[in-house]
Amino acid sequence: MSKIRFQALIEASNRKPIEVIENTKRSVLFGENVFNENTMRQYLTNDAFKGVMSAMELGTKIDRKIADQVSSSMKEWAMSKGVTHYTHWFQPLTGGTAEKHDAFFETIGNGMAIEKFGGDQLVQQEPDASSFPNGGIRNTFEARGYTAWDPTSPAFIYGTTLSIPTIFVSYTGEALDYKTPLLRALTAIDEASTAVCKYFDKNVKRVSASLGWEQEYFLIDKALANSRPDITLTGRTLLGHSPAKGQQLDDHYFGSIPSRALNYMRDLETECMLLGIPVKTRHNEVAPNQFELAPIYEECNLAVDHNSLLMDVMGKVASRHQLKVLLHEKPFAGVNGSGKHNNWSLTTDTGVNLLGPGKTPMSNLQFLTFFINTIKAVYDNEELIRAVVASANNDHRLGANEAPPAIISVFIGEQLTKVLEELEGVTNGKLSPEEKTDLKLNVVGKIPDVLLDNTDRNRTSPFAFTGNKFEFRAVGSFANCANPMTVLNTVVAKQLKDFKTEVDILIESQGLKKDEAIFNVLREYIKATKNILFEGNGYGEAWEKEAKKRGLSNNKTTPEALKARISKKSIAIFEEMNVMSIVETEARYEIEVEEYTKRIQIESRVLGDIAGNHVVPTAVRYQNLLIENVKGLKEIFGKDFEKQAAEQIKLIKGISNHIKAIHLKVDEMISARKIANVIEDAEEKAASYCEDVKPFFDEIRYHCDKLELMVDDELWPLTKYRELLFTR
Ligand code: ADP
Ligand code: MG
C-alpha cells in the first residue's frame, strides 16, 4: 500500500470524536456575535438607531453623521468582544466570499496609537480587486472597484474580525458581485408585488421575498480526503471503483448520525447560533457520509448571506474535527450528489404569506394570483431558470436520474391542479352573480381545506409547490443562492408587472369589476402555461420525450444551457426590471462560460496526471510481480507451466491492455485540449471542452477503475471509495 494511503487510513481509523461541550441554551447564543436590532438598541443613539432601521426596512439612505455614529458604536461593541480587525465582506463572482482584514489600530505620531473605525471605513472601501472576475467590465470602464455597506444585512463577528456585508461594484456602478443584482431584484419584486397586493389590501406597503435553503454536503475524514489529489484540486473524485456496498440498502438516510459527524454538527451549529444563522434541521442524506443542514427561512438577502457565510464556516469547523466538507455537486460517482433546495415565498409587511392559502375567498384569490403568476413566470423563462443553475459540477446531477432533470417543469399537486381546471372554465368577460358565488364558495373558498391534506409531494420535480412556498430544487450544493434568487425574483416581478397592466386594461376598457378582471386574466394564464405543469416521474425517459413534444427545453450541458442567459428576452427583462444592464448580463455570461472551461481544463489535467503517475506505474509494478511469479512457475513446472500460470498470464495481458488504453486516451485528451486552448472565442472554447475534452474522462476512468480491481490492494496508491465513504 502506498505510504500516503496507509498513513491516511491509520490516522483516520485512530481518530476519536472531538467532544463538544456546549451547555448554553441555543436561544441565548443566538445572534450573540451579530450587530442586530437588539445590540443596536444598546449601542446606538436614538437617531442612529432610527436611521439604520429605516435603511433596513425602507431602504432609505444613511447620512454621514449617522454613519460616523454607527461605526464608532460598532467598534465599541466589537472591541468589547476582543475584536481587533474589520473587513468589508463581499461575494465576488468566484462563488466564494472575499475579505481583506484591516486593523482598527492606527498610529497618531509620537509613538502613540489609537483604535479607529470611522464612518468612511464603514461605508466604502476600495479593495484592490483587479484579480476578481469581472467579465471585461473593469477593462471597459474604470479599473477600480469599490465595496459599499449593505445595512440590510447586519455586521457580524467571526473570530477576531468585524465583518461588514457589502456590495462590490465597479467605479462606474456595474455590479461585480452576486449581492448587487440580488438587491435590485428584491426591489423589483417588492414594487411589483406590492402593486398587485393593493387589489386585495390597500394597507400593504412592502413585500419581501423569503428564502429557506437546504444545504447538502459530504463529510470525509481529512487525512483520507487529502490523500486524493483529485479531491484536493477539484473537489471531487475523478476515478475510483464503486464499493461493493453503496447506498443500495438505503441504510444511511435519516439513520442515526455517526458520532464524529454529530459532534461536528453540534460545533457548527453553535457557530451558526453565534452568527445568527437560524439552523434548525440536520439529518443523514441518501449517500453514505452525506448530510443536510437547513435553517428557518429568512428574508432573501439575509438568507443568501447566511448561506455564503455558512459554507465558509463549515470548512473551518470541519478542519477542527479533522474532517473535510465536500460541497461539490458530485464528489462520488455511483452515489447521490448534493443539491441545495431553495424554498421561496413572498410575504407582505402585514404578515401575509402570499403563497400560503388564506382564510377567506378574497385572500385565496390573492394566493391564486401569486401562485399562477409564478407558474407563468417560470414557464415563460424556463430556459433562463435552467441556465441559472448550470455549472460544470451541476451537470453531473441535472438530468442524471438522481436529481431534477435538465428540463424545468412545475409540480403543483393533484388538488391545485383541480382548482386550476375549474378556474379555466370561468366565463369570458363579465361573470354572472351565480358564477361569482360558486367560484367564491366552491373553488377559491375551498383551497385551505384542500391543501391541508395535500401530502403528495413529488421528489423528482425541479420546481415544486409545497403547501406554502415553491421549492426550487435544481440549485447545486456549491452554488451561491444569490444567482437563482436574482433570476426567480426578477422574472416573477416582470410577470406581476405585466399582470397588473392586463388587469387594469380590463377594468378600464371593458368595465369589468376588479375580481372579474383578475379571474379573466388568470384563466388565460392557466390555459397558456399548461405545458410547464408536470406531476409524473421527472427522472423517467418518458418525460424527456413528452417534454420535447411540449416544446420545453432540455439543455443538458452548461455551455448549451448558459446561452439563455444572454438571449434577447433575458437581457430585456433584466434591463426592464433594473436588475442588470446589458453590460452586466454579458459580463456574467462571459465569466460563467470561462469558469466552465477552467473547471473542465483543471479536471482534465488532474485526471491525466493521476492516470499517468499514480495508476499506470502501480499497474506496472503489480504486473512485474506477476511476471516474476510466472517466471518462477516456469522454473518449477517446466513446460507444464502454462497450465499453472494461465490466470496470471491473463492478468498480465489485461493490465497491458488497460495501460495501453489509458495512454492512448490520455494522449488523445491532451491533443483535444491543445486544440481547445487556442480557440479565441470563449463560447466556442467552452463548447470544445464540453464536447471534445470531457468525453475522455469516462473512458480513462473506466480503464483506471478496472485496474483498481485487478491490482493488489496493498499496492494501490489512491484511497478507495469504501474507505472514503465508510470510514467514520
Ligand atoms: P423538506 O423539503 O426537506 O421536506 P420542508 O419542506 O419541511 O423540508 O422545509 C424546507 C425549508 O422550507 C425549511 O428550510 C423552511 O425554513 C423553508 N420554508 C418554510 N416556509 C417557508 C417560506 N414561507 N418561505 C421560504 N422558505 C420556507
Ligand atoms: Mg426540500
Given a cut of 90, is residue 26 above it in pLDDT?
no
d(CA 35, CA 41): 10
Determine the pLDDT at residue 244: 80
Does residue 314 contact residue 491 with C-beta atoms inside 8 Å? no
Point out the least confidently predicted range of 420-429, 448-457, 690-699: 448-457
Q: Is the pLDDT of residue 140 over 60?
A: no
> pLDDT over 70 for what percent of the chain?
96
Distance, CA of 316 to CA of 310 (rounded, Å): 10
Q: What is the pLDDT of residues 459-488, one digit of tens each?
A: 889 999 998 999 999 999 999 999 999 999
8 Å CB contact between 446 and 499: no
Ligand 1 close to Cβ of residue 469 (< 6 A) = yes
pLDDT tens for 53-86 read: 998 888 888 888 999 999 999 999 999 999 999 9
**Confidence at 452, pLDDT banded by 50, 70, 90:** low
| CATH for the 595-726 domain, from 1.10.3720.10, 1.10.246.90, 3.40.50.620, 1.20.120.1560 | 1.20.120.1560
Please tell me what DSSP assigns to residue 400: T
pLDDT score recorded for residue 94: 82
Q: Which pLDDT does position 59 carry in this prediction? A: 80
DSSP annotation string for 510-540? H---HHHHHHHHHHHHHHHTGGGB--S-TTS
Q: Evaluate if residue 202 carries a pLDDT over 90.
A: yes
Asked if pLDDT for residue 253 goes beyond 70, the answer is: no
Ligand 1: which residue has its CA nearest to atom 6? 466
Residue pLDDT, tens place only, 512-565: 999 999 999 999 999 999 999 999 988 888 999 999 999 999 999 999 999 999
pLDDT single digits (tens) 160-180: 999 999 999 988 889 999 999
Q: What average pLDDT score do residues 645-669 get?
A: 97
State the average pLDDT over residues 615-629.
97
Nearest listed ligand to the Cα of residue 292: 1
> Mean pLDDT across the stretch 200-219?
97
Q: Is 565 exposed, middle or buried (0-12, 13-18, 19+ CB in 10 A)?
A: buried
Per-domain residue ranges for the chain? 31-177, 186-580, 595-726
88-99, pLDDT tens digit by residue?
Answer: 999 998 878 988
* CA–CA dist 159, 84 (Å, integer): 10
Q: Which fold has domain 186-580?
A: Creatine Kinase; Chain A, domain 2 (3.30.590)
pLDDT reported for residue 96? 85
Q: Is residue 270 classed exposed, middle or buried when 0-12, 13-18 and 19+ CB atoms within 10 A define those classes?
A: middle
Task: Name the closest ligand to CA 470.
Answer: 1
Q: What is the pLDDT of residue 619?
A: 98
Residue 341: alpha-carbon gap to chain centroid: 8
- Rounded distance from Cα 653 to ligand 2 centre (Å): 50
Q: Which of 469, 471, 481, 489 most suits a substitution to test ligand 1, by most atoms within 8 Å of the C-beta?
A: 469
Q: How confident is the model at residue 14 (pLDDT cuts 50, 70, 90)?
A: confident
Q: Which ligand is nearest to the CA of 279?
A: 1
Query: Average model confidence (pLDDT) for the chain?
Result: 92
> Residue 25 — pLDDT band, cuts 50, 70, 90?
confident
Give the SS3 label for residue 404: coil
How confident is the model over 125-131, as a mean pLDDT? Answer: 73
> What is the pTM assigned to this prediction?
0.95
For residue 134, the model assigns a pLDDT of: 78
Cell 437560524 locates to 278
Q: Count Cβ neighbours within 10 Å for each residue of 569-579 and write b for 16 or more, e otherwise.
A: ebbebbeebeb
- Measured from the Cα of 345, ligand 1's closest atom is 24
Q: How far is the CA of 294 from the centre of ligand 2 (A)?
A: 9
Termini Cα distance of the chain: 21
| Cβ of residue 470 lying under 6 Å from some atom of ligand 1 | no
**Nearest residue by C-alpha to atom 14 in ligand 1:** 212
For residue 632, what pLDDT is reported? 94
Model pLDDT, residue 374: 98
> pLDDT tens digits for 320-349?
999 999 999 999 999 899 999 999 999 999
Q: Per-residue confidence at 642, pLDDT binned at 50, 70, 90?
A: confident
pLDDT, residue 319, reads 95
- How far does the centroid of ligand 1 lie from the alpha carbon of residue 472, in Å? 11
User: Per the structure block, which three cell numbers stand in for 583?
Assistant: 453590460
pLDDT of residue 471: 95
CB of residue 216 inside a 6 A radius of ligand 1: no
Query: 168 Cβ partners below 8 Å, 6+ apart?
Result: 90, 91, 92, 98, 127, 129, 132, 145, 146, 147, 175, 176, 177, 179, 180
Pick the CATH number of 31-177 from 3.10.20.600, 3.10.20.70, 3.30.420.40, 1.10.630.10: 3.10.20.70
| Band (100; pLDDT cuts 50, 70, 90) | confident
pLDDT-based confidence at residue 362 (cuts at 50, 70, 90): confident
Q: Which residue's CA lies nearest to atom 8 of ligand 1?
A: 214
Q: What pLDDT does residue 163 have?
A: 96
Give the helix/strand (H/E) hosting 589.
helix 582-610
Residue with the larger pLDDT of the pair 709 and 404: 709
CA gap 408, 232 in Å, rounded: 33
User: How confident is the model at residue 60, as a pLDDT?
Assistant: 86
In contact, 222 and 316? CB cutoff 8 Å = no
| Alpha-carbon gap, residue 246 to 334, rounded angstroms | 8
- C-alpha span between 485 and 500 (Å, rounded): 22
Asked whether 214 lines ligand 1 (CB < 6 A), one says yes
pLDDT at 142 over 60: no
| The predicted structure's pLDDT at residue 507 | 96
